């Protein structure tokens, strides 16, 4: 591991039994660089005593910092908060359930030091349930890679390494944390994928199941829009509107021919209602595109709203929160 400050960001939600052993493993993994890292635990509204355990850990290790949310905002919000307050040149994100191996942290850091902006973990040998986790994940990764154009084996792996300037420019919301490589691709980043160790869950239960499949599909629609049309939304909505107008125009010409050339009545024809509907929907689609254009401009011109609310910051007292440049040790 190169001499630099490394920030390790860990979202925590009801993992009281895991955070203690996790902290010990992290310290062991980076023990040769004891003064060159910080561990940021983000308590995402835990209700099982995780916060008390984190405070206990903080009492014995000043490198541990805690961000306490007012309620559960989700993993994306927790990771986003950790990214906002971290100070490291290299940032490592990982889960708190002990399935990610802290022993892989030096591997990720060294890979980032080679010049990559994002290094993605690939859980090649997963220790999860086959039907509810591994099969949906396999097809999900194929689908996400195809839609986003960023091909990875494992989008669901939280264990990733980043350059600081990448995470400082990321805005995460919803459940977008799994799509970070695709979202960051708009910056022209260099990314790599490395095989990491994956372990069985020791304590607690997984927060994921088949129910998230539907959320993934909906998120994919959002991601595709963000990647392809976020800067020009009128092209997708306006294009659809013009096609609807064209359909209305063609059916209108048919009605005009029927009325004035064939001298037949058109009042009761379904085609008349179809024509009116196409013109109405075309107008609606173009109007929606114009509204999306205005919202896109507002978004890109400085809207800065966090998707979380912080109750307390523990361990950040000596830092200037509004001025946190990366620090080299």
Q: What is the largest CA-CA distance in the chain?
A: 92
What is the mean predicted confidence (pLDDT) over 275-301? 78
Beta bridge partners of residue 122, listed in sequence order? 195
Q: Going by C-beta distance under 8 Å and a sequence separation of 6 or more, which residues neighbour residue 264?
A: 258
Structure tokens at 286: 């173009």
Name the residue among 172, 18, 155, 11 with its Cα closest to residue 93.
11
Decide if pLDDT at 244 tops 70: yes
Residue 206 pLDDT: 64
Q: Is residue 313 classed as helix, strand or coil in its secondary structure?
A: strand
pLDDT band for position 119 (50/70/90)?
very high
Residue 69 C-alpha from the chain's centroid? 18
Share of the chain above pLDDT 90, in %: 46
Q: Return mean pLDDT, the chain.
A: 83
- Determine the pLDDT at residue 229: 67
Q: Quick one: pLDDT at residue 120?
A: 94
pLDDT in tens, 186-214: 778 899 999 999 988 887 676 565 556 66
Instruction: Give dist(CA 278, CA 269) in Å, integer.
Output: 15
Q: Which residue has the higher pLDDT, 304 or 267?
A: 267
Which residues have a Cβ under 8 Å from the Cβ of 262 and sit 6 or more positions away?
none
What pLDDT is stored for residue 312 in this prediction? Answer: 92
Q: Which contiguous run of DSSP H or E holds residue 90?
A: strand 90-93
Kind and range of the H or E run holding 307: none
The torsion angles phi and psi of 96, rounded to 5 degrees, stand at -105, 10
Residue 79, helix vs strand vs coil = helix
**Using N-to-C axis directions, what is the helix angle for 234-260 and 212-229, rounded to 10°?**
90
Minimum mean pLDDT among 84-93, 151-160, 290-299: which range? 290-299
Q: Confidence band (pLDDT; 50, 70, 90) for 322?
A: very low
Question: DSSP label at 157?
Answer: -
Predicted pLDDT at 302:
58
Give the confidence band of 286 by pLDDT, cuts at 50, 70, 90. Answer: confident
DSSP label of 306:
-
Query: CB–CB of 118/90 below 8 Å?
Result: no
Q: For position 209, what pLDDT does the model report?
A: 55
What digits encode the pLDDT tens for the residues 83-100?
A: 999 999 999 999 999 999
- Is residue 182 scored above 60 in pLDDT? yes
For residues 12 and 223, what is the distance between their CA atoms, to the nearest angstrom? 25
Give pLDDT, residue 285: 85
pLDDT-based confidence at residue 103 (cuts at 50, 70, 90)? very high
pLDDT above 80: residue 298: no
Find, among 65, 73, 92, 64, the residue nearest to 160 by Cα.
92
Higher-pLDDT residue of 35 and 147 is 147
pLDDT at 208: 60
Cα gap 119→186, rounded to integer Å: 16
- Total length of the chain: 329
What string of DSSP letters covers 116-151? -SEEEEE-SS--S-IIIIIHHHHHHHHHHHHHHS--
Torsion angles phi and psi, residue 93, rounded to 5: -105, 140
3-state secondary structure of 10: strand
Give the pLDDT of residue 116: 95
As a whole number, mean pLDDT of residues 269-291 equals 88
Give SS3 for 92: strand
Beta bridge partners of 240: none
């Amino acid at each position: 591991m190169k001499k630099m400050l490394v920030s390790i960001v860990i979202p925590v939600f009801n993992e009281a039994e895991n955070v203690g052993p996790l902290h010990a493993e992290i310290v062991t993994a980076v023990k040769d660089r004891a003064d060159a890292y910080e561990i940021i635990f983000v308590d995402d509204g835990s209700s099982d005593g995780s916060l008390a355990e984190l405070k206990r850990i903080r009492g014995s290790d000043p490198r541990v910092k805690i961000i306490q949310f007012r309620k559960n905002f989700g993993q994306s919000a927790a990771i986003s908060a950790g990214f906002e307050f971290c100070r490291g040149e290299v940032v490592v994100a990982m889960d708190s359930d002990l399935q990610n191996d802290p022993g892989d942290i030096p591997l990720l850091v060294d890979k980032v030091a080679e010049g990559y902006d994002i290094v993605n973990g690939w859980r090649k040998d997963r220790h999860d349930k086959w039907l509810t986790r591994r099969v949906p994940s396999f097809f999900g990764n194929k689908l996400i890679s195809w839609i986003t154009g960023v091909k990875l084996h494992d989008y669901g792996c939280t264990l990733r390494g980043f350059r600081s300037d990448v995470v400082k420019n990321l805005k995460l919301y919803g459940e977008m944390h799994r799509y970070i490589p695709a979202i960051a691709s708009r910056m022209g980043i260099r990314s790599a994928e490395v095989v990491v160790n994956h372990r069985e869950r020791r304590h607690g239960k997984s927060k994921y199941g088949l129910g998230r499949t539907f959320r993934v599909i909906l998120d994919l629609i959002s991601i595709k829009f963000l990647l392809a049309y976020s800067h020009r939304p009128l092209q997708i909505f306006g294009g659809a509107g013009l096609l609807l107008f064209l359909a209305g125009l063609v059916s209108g010409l048919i009605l005009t021919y029927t009325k004035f050339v064939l001298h037949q009545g058109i009042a009761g024809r379904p085609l008349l209602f179809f024509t009116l509907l196409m013109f109405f929907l075309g107008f609606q689609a173009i109007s929606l595109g114009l509204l999306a254009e205005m919202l896109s401009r507002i978004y890109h011109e400085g809207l800065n709203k966090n998707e979380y609310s912080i109750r307390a910051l523990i361990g950040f007292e000596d830092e200037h929160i509004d001025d946190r440049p990366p620090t080299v040790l």
